Amino acid sequence: MTNKNNKGLGRGIEALFQEFDETNESEEVVTELKLADIRPNPYQPRKTFDEKSLAELTDSIKKTGVFQPIIVRKSTVKGYEIIAGERRFRASKLADKETIPAIVREIDEASMMEIAVLENLQREDLTPLEEAEAYNTLMEKLNLTQNQVSERLGKSRPYIANYLRLLGLPLEVKQMLQTEKLSMGQARTLLALKNKKQLVALAQKTVHDNLTVRQLEQLIAKMNGKGAKKGKKVVKDPNEPYYKQSETALQEKFGTKVAIKNRSKSGKGKIEIDYLSTKDFNRILDILGISLD
């Protein structure tokens, strides 16, 4: 079950998954459970399943049944919850089966959530939005910071932060991303638009005109610069490369968008740090060493 070719796994969660995976199945009992008594993992990050792949699995189950049992745990509410094997569960229902072979394991809430996220990140291509929601779920349900999530999953903090920023997009734009009308690169580029009221219209234009990321960047640069005074000669700031490098360094440190603005000849200006939620705000305060206790 563990994919040995995955190089990006954090040691903590990899060990968790390996421990889950290497349970001695020969000592476990495979039981036929009623499909009606089973419900999907509530922490399943995947919202949609490939219909063609599911149809093929359904046909296979109709002919030969389910060879590999699904893994479940007893629900604290009623029946059982799936830990691993939701595709087999869905396909069995489509095949009009009444029962499915299953192994019942004892597993706590936190481990179940991590396994659900990890299994999908390893095996299936989540959409960018589903991946972002998976990271956000880990942060909210397990009370983790971006840095802790990045350590557990073996990914950089800026990588996690870039995905989490997608959750700030308007619903219409999220739907375009989820249905793959927009790419991850296009969606990330849209976030640079200053006037957020124009986001949906620009996203629609991006899809309609099939704009590349580079074309979109150029268009957004023009739209962001519309408020500048006309006729006034723009004097290039010799310190611009330094400011750009500083922005990049700050973004790496805080794992979110940082902008250095309103720079003047006197050297005065301001630094703007984006945050996505109260928890993200507190994470930034922690990085700055600020405690309000």
Residues involved in catalysis: 86
DSSP class per residue in 48-96: ---HHHHHHHHHHHHHH---SPEEEEE-SSSSEEEEE-HHHHHHHHHTT
- The CB density around residue 110, as the number of other CB atoms within 10 Å, is 15
Contact call for residues 73 and 106 (beta carbons, < 8 A): yes
Residues 6+ apart with CB under 8 A from 237: 243, 263
Separation of alpha carbons 67 and 85, rounded Å: 12
Following DSSP, what letter does each residue of 211-271 receive, concatenated?
A: --HHHHHHHHHHHHTTTSPTTPPPPPPTTHHHHHHHHHHHHHHHTS-EEEE---TTS--EE
In the three-class reduction of DSSP (H, G, I as helix; E, B as strand; rest coil), residue 34 is classed as strand
CA dihedral 193, 196, 198, 199 (to 10 degrees): 70
Q: Alpha-carbon torsion 53, 58, 89, 176, what sign? A: positive
CA–CA distance, 138 with 34 (Å, rounded to integer): 30
